[in-house]
C-alpha cells in the first residue's frame, strides 16, 4: 500500500487497484467559443488546470493505472431529454440554452460536434476508456462501474471541469458504490461563484471522500529511492 497526503487524513491506496477519472475535458467546457464560454462563465483558470491534468494523466499512465475519460453530451435528436416530462429537459443548462437560442440548436454538446469533442491536448489514447454520458454523473446510466470492477479498481482519483457538477456528482456516486474517491483539487475547476471550489472541497473531504493535490499524487506514485 502507498500513503497519499490528503484531507481530512492521509489515505492508504494500492496504485495497482486505482484509476484516474478525467471529467469533461471537452471544447464545450474548456475552449473559447465553447458552450460555457458562450453563456458567460470565466475560463481564465482553464490553461493552468489543463496542465495539472496532463501531469496527472502522465503519472497515471506511467504507474499503469487505467485512465478513464468522461464525455458529456447528447444524441443529435436529443433523445436523452425528449420533453418537459423529464427533469433533464428542465435542468440542463445546455438544453435550455439551445431552446432559447435556435441558431445554436444541435451545436451544443451534441455528439459529433466540435463542442462535444475533447480538447486537443487531452485526447484519450487508443487503449484508454471513454465513458459517454448525458448527465453530470459518470456512473448513472453508463458502464463505468462494470469496467472499474472488471479491473479490480478500489480507489478513484477524479479531476476535470467542473468541480461542483460532474466531479462532485461522480465522487458522490463513487462513495455510494464503495470506492475510495479522491478529488485532485488543483486539477479541477469549478464553474460559478468563486466560493464553489472551496464548497465542493468541503463536501468531498467531509462527507464523500478525500481531497489531495497533484504534487501529493506524484509523491505517492514516485518509485522508491
pLDDT in tens, 59-103: 999 999 999 999 999 999 999 988 899 999 999 999 999 999 988
Q: Which domains does the chain have, with CATH numbers?
A: 2-221 (3.40.50.850)
Helix boundaries (H) for the chain: 27-30, 35-38, 46-63, 87-91, 93-100, 144-150, 168-176, 195-203, 214-221
pLDDT, tens only, 131-187: 999 999 999 999 999 999 999 999 999 999 999 999 999 999 999 999 999 999 999
Sole residue written with cell 469496467: 147
pTM reported for the whole predicted model = 0.96
Distance of alpha carbon 13 from alpha carbon 212, whole angstroms? 13
Q: How many angstroms from the chain centroid is the CA of residue 115?
A: 16
> Are 194 and 164 contacting, i.e. CB atoms less than 8 angstroms apart?
no
Amino acid at each position: 500500500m502507498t500513503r497519499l497526503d490528503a484531507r481530512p487524513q492521509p489515505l492508504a491506496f494500492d496504485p495497482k487497484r486505482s484509476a484516474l477519472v478525467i471529467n469533461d475535458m471537452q471544447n464545450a467546457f474548456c475552449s473559447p467559443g465553447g458552450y460555457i464560454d458562450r453563456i458567460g462563465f470565466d475560463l481564465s483558470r482553464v490553461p493552468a488546470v489543463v496542465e495539472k491534468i496532463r501531469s496527472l494523466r502522465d503519472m497515471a499512465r506511467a504507474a499503469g493505472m487505467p485512465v478513464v475519460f468522461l464525455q458529456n453530451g447528447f444524441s443529435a435528436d436529443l433523445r436523452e431529454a425528449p420533453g418537459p416530462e423529464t427533469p433533464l429537459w428542465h435542468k440542463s443548462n445546455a438544453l435550455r440554452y439551445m431552446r432559447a437560442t435556435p441558431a445554436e440548436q444541435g451545436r451544443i454538446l451534441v455528439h459529433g460536434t466540435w463542442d462535444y469533442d475533447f480538447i486537443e491536448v487531452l485526447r484519450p489514447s487508443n487503449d484508454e476508456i471513454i465513458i459517454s454520458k448525458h448527465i453530470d454523473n459518470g456512473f448513472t446510466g453508463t458502464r463505468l462501474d462494470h469496467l472499474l470492477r472488471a479491473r479490480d479498481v478500489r480507489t478513484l482519483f477524479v479531476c476535470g471541469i467542473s468541480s461542483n457538477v460532474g466531479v462532485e456528482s461522480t465522487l458522490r456516486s463513487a462513495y455510494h458504490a464503495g470506492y475510495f474517491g479522491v478529488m485532485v483539487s488543483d486539477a479541477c475547476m469549478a464553474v460559478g461563484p468563486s466560493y464553489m471550489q472551496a464548497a465542493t472541497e468541503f463536501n468531498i473531504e467531509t462527507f464523500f471522500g478525500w481531497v489531495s493535490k497533484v504534487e501529493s499524487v506524484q509523491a505517492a506514485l514516485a518509485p522508491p529511492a
